[in-house]
Amino acid sequence: MESQNTNVTENAKAMLKNAKTLKLHTGNLVIRSRLKKKCPSSPSEELQDCIRATLIDWLSTTQLPSEGGVSDTVDCSIPEATEAIKPEEREELKVSVKLFLCETDQSSIPEAVEMACQTLAVSQLDSVIIAPRGLPEGEVQTLAHLQPAWEVLEALVGSKKIAAIGTSDLDKDLLEQLYKWSQVKPSSNQVNLASCCVMPPDLTAFAKDFDIQLLTHSDPKELMSSSAFQEAVQESTKELAVADWRLEWVLRYSIIVKSRGIIKAKGYLVNGRKASP
């Protein structure tokens, strides 16, 4: 039995070694006790623990495809951990998503939305909040930084893949600029109370006037760096070379029971890509 398990792990490592894209789903964290630390100190630590736990499970259970070949894309997820939504319960549930972009390529936005829809077995996400890629030290975020991603989100609203879209960490002036410029108006704006203990009065007044929901969050400016992603993969796979891997995006989802306001499911989808030689 031990020899069989060793072969499974080696087969899985071979798949990862030859892959160019890694897609990972942590499964439902509400019902799965998979984290090494029961109470992670931050969202970043939670995500890193999730990646390690998922990869360890996947490495110990995955066989090479029956046709024998290897794919450019490896799906590191545990099928029984997936929280697919049944059609008869869809109306009772709200699917909320926050998408953290780690690269400047906007094509990753529809890719992430589609992966979330497929994973959760829904045709539309109820809300998506975008967290753009962090800017270099000293550079200030402007409307020009937000517009490319927002245009992609607007197209996804038009195609009914998303019902509502929101922003993160915009002050009153930038939120107002986005509101006036956009075709699809932001329905929400997240505010990090770690850097702002009380909601700014001007932001509160503007949001009230234009029916924008103000939410709070505790996410860092960079949820996970590529080096932290590489570290999590390295710790799970031991000898696998990870220096060429970079993190493209992270999507965190919550499935909420509307009538009761409780979280039925929560998890992460992660997309990494190996840099071209």
Could you tell me if 256 and 94 are in contact, meaning their C-beta atoms sit under 8 angstroms apart? yes
**Distance, CA of 100 to CA of 129 (rounded, Å):** 9
Which of 270, 166, 152, 157 lies closest to 217 in space, CA to CA? 166
- Write out pLDDT tens, residues 194-231: 766 678 899 999 999 999 999 999 998 889 988 999 99
pTM for this model (two decimals): 0.90
**Per-residue pLDDT, 4:** 39
Average of per-residue pLDDT values in the chain: 86
- Write out pLDDT tens, residues 137-168: 788 899 999 999 999 999 999 999 999 999 99
**Distance, CA of 174 to CA of 257 (rounded, Å):** 32
Q: Which long-range contacts (CB under 8 A, 24 or more apart) does 195-202 make?
A: 200/171, 200/172, 202/172
**Per-residue pLDDT, 2:** 40
Q: How many CB atoms lie within 10 A of CB 251?
A: 25
83 pLDDT more than 80: no
Residue 216, strand partner residues: 191
What token pair was written down for 116?
């979330």
- Greatest Cα pair distance in the chain: 66
Which of 137, 101, 44 lies closest to 247 in space, CA to CA? 101
Q: Which long-range contacts (CB under 8 A, 24 or more apart) does 44-51 make?
A: 44/220, 44/223, 44/224, 44/228, 47/223, 47/224, 47/250, 47/268, 47/270, 48/224, 48/228, 48/231, 48/232, 50/26, 50/267, 50/268, 51/24, 51/26, 51/229, 51/232, 51/233, 51/236, 51/268, 51/270
Q: In what order do the strands lie in the sheet with 73-77?
A: 73-77, 21-25, 262-274, 245-257, 93-101, 125-131, 162-168, 188-192, 213-217
- Write out pLDDT tens, residues 228-260: 999 998 888 876 778 888 999 999 999 999 999
Handedness of CA 259, 158, 106, 186 (dihedral sign): negative
**Per-residue pLDDT, 66:** 47
Domain ranges for the chain, please list them: 2-274
Could you tell me if 73 and 92 are in contact, meaning their C-beta atoms sit under 8 angstroms apart? no
1 pLDDT more than 50: no
